[in-house]
Amino acid sequence: MLKEKQIIFSFFGKERKCCVNLVKSRGSLFTIYYWNDYDFSVYASEGAICMPKWEIHDKWAAQIGITKETSDVVNLLSDFPEKSQEFMEFCEREGEGIILGLVSVHDFRRIMKIPKYLQVVFLRHQKGSEYVKAWYLHYVLDYIKMAPALTVEEILKRTEDWFERCEELEIIRDFVVGNAEGILDDCRM
């Protein structure tokens, strides 16, 4: 039997599929509801692996020149952010201000990507460009695995539409397009 990995959430009178994240900042726990940013429903049988194994992420990170150390940090942050002590401390220090800044502009689209946005801001400010590049690669590889009906070009377009344009994302776009066949073989096998 297939089980949906998101929950149904009623917002503005419409039922929407969304995910839930908890972010702790300055002693307060924020519950953040956000739409599935891959823009489709994710179904998986119980115990199924919905994302590429870290070995696949590491392989393609190495192909673009990202170190194993950087890949390890990003793998943990992307898949288990609550286990990244440095990220949790960042959220404790700066999360509230970042979240309030996004909420204050009343830009619903930006609000819905808070959990991923916090990760990118953390990496950009605390780690640097190579980590941001590794994060975008991880995100795109996950997306490719989770959306077998979409082409690589469609996934990259949606990723670019979802996130702000930056040099790191453009580098990942070019890399993924140039290595699409091998990446598809690894992520969709």
Three-state SS at 150: coil
pLDDT tens across the length of the chain (189 residues): 223 333 333 333 334 444 444 444 445 444 443 434 444 444 444 444 568 899 999 999 999 999 999 999 999 998 888 889 999 889 888 888 877 777 776 666 666 667 788 899 999 999 999 999 999 999 999 999 988 889 999 999 989 888 878 999 999 999 999 999 999 999 987
Beta-carbon neighbour count of residue 152 at 10 Å? 19
Q: How far apart are alpha carbons 68 and 118 in whole angstroms?
A: 22
Q: How far apart are alpha carbons 160 and 162 in whole angstroms?
A: 5
